């Protein structure tokens, strides 16, 4: 498996530390049970008012649904997603009750759902690579979402252990770069007023 280093300042759980988003996946297939296990982890995420606004479309490689999700991705993502064993779309319901108040926390809750999916996946040796790069309106139409839904993301899913050489050349460096990077806490967390 591609070696990655995550230089944490405080020790965190190995499942959080070990996760990263590959673009090359092992060719080992993902099963329906594995997808349903990931979705079960998401299902138990917290959400505002327990509204569970997330809606998921998923397909395994070779299926019609997989191809229809793939066709919604932007070219940049299609170039590396090509051989990924499973694909998902993440959508959310925009209103609290039908036609009523907007649910301002729906995207937040879809993020929590995906956070659970990521942790569960890592525990199973499965990698999850989320994507904003898709035609969201096309996906909404293609999968017949009603107007009060928004398709936010797509996700590529497969086992870790892919061969970086199979990627387009411009993506190979990032795939093989060992050191992962994050902003230091002082740039985003304040024990007091916001600081720019």
Ligand X SMILES: Cc1cc2nc3c(=O)[nH]c(=O)nc-3n(C[C@H](O)[C@H](O)[C@H](O)COP(=O)(O)O)c2cc1C
| Binding string, residues 51-80; x marks residues near ligand X by CB under 6 A | --------------------------x---
CB of 17 to ligand X, least distance (A): 10
Query: Judged by CB under 6 A, how many residues of this single chain contact ligand X?
Result: 9
CB of 174 to ligand X, least distance (A): 8
20 binds ligand X (CB under 6 A): yes
Q: Which of 52, 59, 130, 140 binds ligand X (CB under 6 A)?
A: 130
131 binds ligand X (CB under 6 A): yes
133 binds ligand X (CB under 6 A): yes
DSSP the chain: ----B---SS---HHHHS----SS--SPPPPHHHHHHHHHHHHTS--GGG---EEEEEEETTSHHHHHHHTTB-HHHHHHHTT-SEEEEEEEE-BSSTTSSB-TTHHHHHHHHHHHHHHHHHHTTEEEEEE--B-HHHHHHHTT--TTEEEEEEEEEEES---GGGS-HHHHHHHH--B-----GGGT--SSS---
Give the binding site for ligand X (CB under 6 A).
Answer: 20-21, 77, 130-133, 153, 180
């Amino acid at each position: 498996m591609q070696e990655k280093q995550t230089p944490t300042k405080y020790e965190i759980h190995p499942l959080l530390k070990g996760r990263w988003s590959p673009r090359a996946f092992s060719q080992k297939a993902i099963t329906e049970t594995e997808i349903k296990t990931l979705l079960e982890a998401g299902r138990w995420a917290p959400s505002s008012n327990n509204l569970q606004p997330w809606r998921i479309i998923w397909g395994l490689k070779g299926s019609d649904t997989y191809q229809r999700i793939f066709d919604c991705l932007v070219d940049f993502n299609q170039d590396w997603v090509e051989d990924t064993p499973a694909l998902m779309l993440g959508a959310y319901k925009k209103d609290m009750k039908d036609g009523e108040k907007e649910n301002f926390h729906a995207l937040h809750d879809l993020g929590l759902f995906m956070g659970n999916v990521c942790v569960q996946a890592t525990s199973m040796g499965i990698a999850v690579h989320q994507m904003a790069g898709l035609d969201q309106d096309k996906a909404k139409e293609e999968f017949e979402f009603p107007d009060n839904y928004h398709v936010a993301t797509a996700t590529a899913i497969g086992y870790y252990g892919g061969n970086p050489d199979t990627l387009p050349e411009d993506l190979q460096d990032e795939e093989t770069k060992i050191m992962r990077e994050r902003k230091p806490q002082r740039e985003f967390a304040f024990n007091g007023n916001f600081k720019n």
